[in-house]
Amino acid sequence: MTVAACAALVERGDPDRFLAVMAAAPEARAQLFPLYAFNLEVARAPWVTQEPLIAEMRLQWWRDVVANTASGAARAHEVAGPLHDLIRDFGLPVAVMDRLIAARRWDIQQEPHADAAALEDYLDSTAAGLMWLAARALGAPEGAEAAVRDYGWATGAASYLGALPDLGARGRQPLPDGMQPQDLAKAGLQRLAAAHAARRTVPKAVAPALLTGWLTGARPTAALAGPQDGSLTKPSEFQRRGRLLWQSLTGRW
């Protein structure tokens, strides 16, 4: 039930986000670690069992946790307790959290997204929704939502492109029929450009919430010129750390 427990979970299960949070100012970590631990628990719920019904029950449990924040239900859980505190203290929109959880139901099934719009909605509910929640936890005004969501969507598209080979190996069909990785890459670059165009609406204090996009720019660009299967050449550890350090020091994204 501590932020340290949430940090340990993120370090083990989501190392890129862990590095991003550790690159942020210490005062931001108490808000970000519980949120990213919650996202990790939800994201992996469909993958820890081969029984769809059990996976559905795990996701429903988290929907109940979010919906029952005021009651303090499930506070004994190492993530649910700090998450409840975060929702209460910073007024996080539970509807955004619920949509994030509900979107993960797609990960349980073997069918592809119905069409491009369905994939776009999936990324908006998950990656974009998570980045907006993180920004709100750091005090982002409502006027910053469009820019933050666009940047979060581009970040999600970048990660999704990198995950295409693994999703295929797990028996998933990650792209709708007729859609190519380059199509998603172009959409990601368009969202990234839109986010950059509206950068002035996002206060500097929100920058730690955007650090999780530290590799966003390179991945969609690589996919445009990369293999048709969406596999990408991973940057070296030096390049990764250098990009994160640059973004954390400059606040630019």
193-219 pLDDT, tens digit per residue, is 999 999 999 999 999 999 988 867 666
> Is residue 134 located within the same domain as residue 224?
yes
> Is residue 174 located within the same domain as residue 164?
yes
> Is residue 138 located within the same domain as residue 48?
no
pLDDT in tens, 117-160: 999 999 999 999 999 999 999 999 999 999 999 999 999 998 99
> Is residue 125 located within the same domain as residue 24?
no
| Torsion-angle region of 178 (φ positive above 0: left; ψ -120 to 50: alpha; else: beta) | left
User: What is the average pLDDT across 65-92?
Assistant: 82
Residue 52, in any domain of the structure? yes
Task: Give the residue from 73, 88, 109 where a domain finishes.
Answer: 109
Residue 86, in any domain of the structure? yes
Report how far Cα 128 is from the mean position of its chain's Cα atoms: 7
Residue 37, in any domain of the structure? yes
Rounded to 5 degrees, what angle do the CA atoms 67, 142, 147 make? 110
Predicted confidence band of residue 230 (pLDDT cuts 50, 70, 90) = very low
User: What is the average pLDDT across 163-171?
Assistant: 89
Predicted confidence band of residue 253 (pLDDT cuts 50, 70, 90) = confident
> Is residue 20 located within the same domain as residue 57?
yes
**pLDDT mean across residues, the chain:** 88
pLDDT reported for residue 249 = 73
pLDDT reported for residue 49 = 86
Percent of the chain with pLDDT over 70: 88
Q: CB within 8 A of 52, min separation 6: which ones?
A: 108, 109
> Is residue 224 located within the same domain as residue 118?
yes
User: What is the average pLDDT across 57-73?
Assistant: 84
pLDDT reported for residue 250 = 75
> Is residue 87 located within the same domain as residue 195?
no
Sign of CA dihedral 44, 184, 154, 129: negative
> Is residue 62 located within the same domain as residue 24?
yes
Task: Give the residue from 59, 79, 109 where a domain finishes.
Answer: 109
Question: Per the structure block, which two tokens stand in for 185?
Answer: 């890459």
Counting the structural domains of the chain, the total is 2
DSSP 128: I
pLDDT reported for residue 246 = 75
Question: What does each C-alpha distance from 24 to 42, 227, 247, 249 come to in angstroms?
Answer: 24, 34, 10, 9
User: What is the average pLDDT across 31-49?
Assistant: 95
Residue 119, in any domain of the structure? yes
Query: Which amino acid, one-letter code, is at 165?
Result: P
Residue 245, in any domain of the structure? no
pLDDT reported for residue 223 = 63
> Is residue 192 located within the same domain as residue 145?
yes
For residue 86, give its domain range. Answer: 1-109
Alpha carbons 222 and 207: distance in angstroms, whole number: 25
> Is residue 137 located within the same domain as residue 29?
no
> Is residue 214 located within the same domain as residue 117?
yes
> Is residue 69 located within the same domain as residue 51?
yes
